[in-house]
Chain A
Amino acid sequence: MSENVLEIHDVKKHFNVGNKQVVKSVDGISFSIKKGETLGIVGESGSGKSTIGRTIVGLYEATAGKVVFEGKEISQLDRKEKREFNRKMQMIFQDPHASLNPRMRVGEIIAEGIDAYGLAKGKAKQERVFQLLERVGLHPDHATRFPHEFSGGQRQRIGIARALAVQPSFIVADEPISALDVSIQAQVVNLLEDLQKEEDLTYLFIAHDLAMVKHISDRIGVMYLGKMMELAESQTLFQEPLHPYTNALLSAIPVSAPKLRGTRERIVLGGDPPSPINPPSGCPFRTRCPSTMERCAVVMPEWKEVKKDHWVACHLY
């Protein structure tokens, strides 16, 4: 593992929601991903995970900050480079029911990218679609079917095949397994891992639960209210979590998985996260933090590397 394929620097994505109100869905996030690596991102619903994912793949334009892919800032790409970037960086979506066009047959859906880039035509295209279907564990006959004829897990496989069709090098997987049955989740994660090895892919893997990303991620970042709270290697994050929010998340993993949970005491988080329209002053987590101090309400803690490769934003460190 050598160079960073992706670097994001202080990226912000704010939405105007009328009445002069602004949602700070992503508010100043920085990290990098090395080639072949998987970075997991976890956070509660509404913490901005999809927004950061969509900003990285270029579906949203960042309000501020830089997204640098393979050494080039994506907002500065010319037409040709932009097209190449769009091909190389693909996304797998969160909702298996909304991510496939209900009026298109599976074969057409998978061929969409092949058509857009003119990668194959006629018989060769057909062959390619069949290969892709088999590659993700489906049957070539499925090409003539409509999405509603498939289960959630199968639809997610179709979405994966669609992304693979354009031979990407980087995939942002936005909660690819959250909507699936527990028994199916493992199959999809295994498929993604196999593909990573064989196709030399780099992943940004989003989930809302630490248990889900532990297995697949080399490093894990924890988001809260549009900000990154902690980022470390998977092992480190589970064994020596620093941030009070990470601690709370870890303690919430049910006792049926004691190995993951360790001997930590269960920390119960009170209430819901505050609204990103009107976030707390200082540290966004302070309204629910068991160790909050006076300083926490005044200054936002700095994002710093407290140990090698272990980043955290908290006044305790």
Chain B
Amino acid sequence: MTNSLPETDALFRPANPAHFENKQISRPSLSFWQDAVLKIVKNKMAVIGFVLLTAIIVLSIIGPYLVPYSQSEQSLTEGNLPLSSDHWFGTDDLGRDMWARIWAGARISLIIGIASALIDLVIGITVGGVSGYMAGRGKTGDRIDSFLMRIVEVLYGIPYLLVVILLMVIMEPGLVTMIIALSITGWVGMARIVRGQILQLKQQEFVLAAEKLGTSHGKIIIKHLLPNMMGIIIVTLTFTIPQAIFAESFLSFLGLGVQAPTASWGTMANDALGTILSGHWWRLFFPALMISLTMFAFNAFGDGLQDALDPRSKN
């Protein structure tokens, strides 16, 4: 209420029906998602990020087939060739085509990024969702919530590097081990975000209204809770995917990740270290460029998504 009150009885006389608010709205009705797409299209950095991402994904699929070499085909006579019309990105010391290897490495990076993000998503939403939804629902509910959160806290404290090294000892080093290692600690962040969101949304009056109207728990979760957290979940994903990709490159660079002869940007960069002084610049340049471009593309697009999907940014 504002400060001055007009005379109250006059105030509550029936209103003129002509003033009723049943005017039609002429603007087209945009759903949340249509609105978000419009916002992203207007954001230059996000568009650049999106185009780059699309290019990287498309080339990771078709790139290797554009040249007549395979990523593992060696030709010792053609070692360390500079860029040419035959070898677009040059060759490495074993004469393998760098273009083919770069896009084979892109596949590894994307598979790791997407697989660990999906695992984070499934486990994170399940654990965070159950935890947040049960919290405050009697003694049993609170107990389930605090049990799950205890697990989350413990895992949150473990550095992923430790888990990776431990797993590499137990399991065979490689793609699957790496995905498992990244997921074991990775889902925890998603679970925390989802739980926080649910706790907040549960208090919202539209959820209380749904409860009061007799809407079932399942429907409340599917129609009221999830759609209102989708934005934040997607934004979180666009930041966890590049984190996983970077982790893979970094670990492979250290020799803890994908093993030879599989191409990975990290192993390629590592192999190239010895050649910097000998002037074969393309051997380090292309893997490093791809890692940077991919990080940039995901982050630029993620920022745009955040602006478009975050309810707090209104424009």
Contact A187 B20 (CB under 8 A): yes
Contact A146 B29 (CB under 8 A): yes
Q: Which of B188-215 contact A (CB under 8 A)?
A: 204-206, 208-215
**Contact pattern, B 21-47, Cβ under 8 Å of A = 1, otherwise 0:** 111110101111000000000000000
Among the 9-residue stretches A109-117, A241-249, A274-282, the one with 4 or more Cβ atoms under 8 Å from chain B is A109-117
Among the 9-residue stretches B3-11, B81-89, B273-281, B291-299, the one with 4 or more Cβ atoms under 8 Å from chain A is B3-11
A66 at the interface (CB under 8 A from B): no
Contact B21 A59 (CB under 8 A): no
Contact B4 A146 (CB under 8 A): no
Contact A98 B205 (CB under 8 A): yes
* A161 smallest CB distance to B (angstroms): 12
B150 at the interface (CB under 8 A from A): no
User: Which residues of chain A are within 8 angstroms of B32 by Cβ–Cβ distance?
Assistant: 102-103, 146
Among the 9-residue stretches A84-92, A121-129, A224-232, A288-296, the one with 4 or more Cβ atoms under 8 Å from chain B is A84-92
Given A95-B205, A142-B25 in contact, is the A211-B214 Cβ separation under 8 Å? no
* A74 smallest CB distance to B (angstroms): 13
Contact A117 B214 (CB under 8 A): yes
Q: Which residue of A lies closest to B23 (CB)?
A: A139
A54 at the interface (CB under 8 A from B): yes
A159 at the interface (CB under 8 A from B): yes
Distance, CA A58 to CA B212, complexed state (A)? 8
Contact B206 A145 (CB under 8 A): no
User: Which residues of chain B are within 8 angstroms of A87 by Cβ–Cβ distance?
Assistant: 214
Q: Which of A234-257 contact B (CB under 8 A)?
A: 253-254, 256-257
Interface residues, chain A, with chain B CB atoms under 8 Å away: 54, 57-59, 83, 86-87, 90-91, 93-95, 98-105, 112-113, 115-117, 134, 137-139, 141-142, 144-146, 149, 151, 153-154, 157, 159, 162, 166, 178, 182, 184-187, 189-190, 208-209, 211-212, 214-216, 253-254, 256-257, 259-260
Task: Contacts A137-B17, A162-B209, A259-B9 known; list 13 others, CB within 8 Å.
Answer: A57-B212, A90-B212, A137-B21, A138-B22, A139-B22, A139-B24, A146-B30, A182-B1, A186-B11, A208-B1, A209-B1, A209-B5, A215-B8
Interface residues, chain B, with chain A CB atoms under 8 Å away: 1-9, 11-15, 17, 19-25, 27, 29-32, 204-206, 208-216, 219, 223-224, 227-228, 311
Pairs A–B under 8 Å by Cβ, sample size 23: A59-B211, A59-B212, A86-B214, A95-B205, A100-B206, A101-B224, A103-B228, A113-B213, A113-B214, A116-B215, A134-B22, A137-B21, A137-B22, A138-B22, A145-B29, A146-B30, A146-B31, A146-B32, A149-B27, A149-B29, A184-B21, A190-B15, A256-B7
